[in-house]
Each structure stands twice: as structure tokens, then as C-alpha cells.
Amino acid sequence: MQYQLILGSTSPYRKKLLQRLSIPFTTASPDIEEIVLKNESAQDYVKRLALQKAQAVAKQYPNALIIGSDQCSILKGVIRGKPKHHQNAVQQLRESSGERVTFLTGLCLYDAKTNDYQLDLVPFHVDFRILTDYEIEAYLQVEQPYACAGSFKSEGLGISLFKRLQGDDPTALIGLPLIRLSEMLRQKNIRIPATSY
């Protein structure tokens, strides 16, 4: 492969997703502050963070291709991040019960050699079924999704919380849209899977 590929994330979920493409890569922590700026839209927020994460990692790897990604959930126009602890997760799932939640994933492929980048936004919608407090508590005890936007893991038991999913790329819901990322990598002439043919 012409480029060294770096995933600018310490998320085990994003790492596991990227492994599905069978491309050699390394992970690196971007260490940036993830705060919403005043009057910043959710769309601009996740795209900005995806780019900033990639740029931060590019300082460590000046000859690499860097993947940056960030995600937030939106309910009734309000941006929601990772719950971080149990009580916040309970509150998020109570608020999501019977509602449609939109997940926005910002994705960036940054060429540290040239400072060129591809940047996109991938939406995904989740319709939650009506959840009881017992179901919420039981779910959280099993998966403890406190580092996950929306307080669930769709790749695990979290799928049982939903009534309907709508979007072009189910991997976007987990935090790294592989369909769009594959397109970006092909633009840089990276073969998927990486073979010698």
C-alpha cells in the first residue's frame, strides 16, 4: 500500500469496524476537546470534530492517511453525546422511548502529506419502541453502553430496543461508515481488500 493508514480513534468499535475492510492500519489517539461551539449545528459539529481529530493525528504521522470520525445523536433538535455513566444513560433511553433519534457521523480521510482531505456527513435514523423502566435498567446492566452515543450498542443487545432503522449504511450507526469510507479510500487508489493484484 502506498500510504500508511491511521485510524484517529481509540474506540474499540471503530477499530473492529475498520478491520472488516482487511486493510493494514494503526490506531492513534487524537486527544482533542469535544465541545459544541456556540450556535454550531449538529452537522457542523461532527464534521468539524472528524476533521480536527484527523489533523491532530496527522501531526504525529506526517506521511500517512488519517481517518477521523465523530458521532452525535439528536432528539427533538437537541444534540446528545455519550452518557458516560449510568444515570445519564437511563435518562437518554427514557427520552428516546417511542421517539425517532437521528445519528450523525462525521467522516474525514486526511492526507497528511498534502493536507488535502475528504469530509462527509452520514445520517442514520433509529425509531425506538416504547421502553419500560425495567427494560432500560435490564439492558444497561447487560451492556453498560456508557461510551456510546445514544446509550446503546446496535451491534449487540441494543437492537432489541428498536422498532425501525433507516439509513444507507448500518455501520454509520456504530460510528464508522464503511461504505462512504471505502469510496474515500478508492479515491486515494487504496484497494479493498488490500491485495497485490
- The per-residue b/e assignment along 162-197, b for 16 or more CB within 10 angstroms, e otherwise, is beeeebebebbbbbbbbebbeebbeeeebeeeeeee
Q: Which helix (H) or strand (E) holds 128?
A: strand 116-128
Catalytic site residue 70? yes
Which set of grid coordinates corresponds to residue 15?
Answer: 477499530
Find the length of the chain. 197
As separate numbers, helices (DSSP H) first and strands (DSSP E) second, the chain gives 6, 7
Which of the residues 31, 70, 111, 133 is marked catalytic?
A: 70
Q: How far apart are CA 94 and CA 108, in angstroms?
A: 32
Which positions are catalytic?
Answer: 70
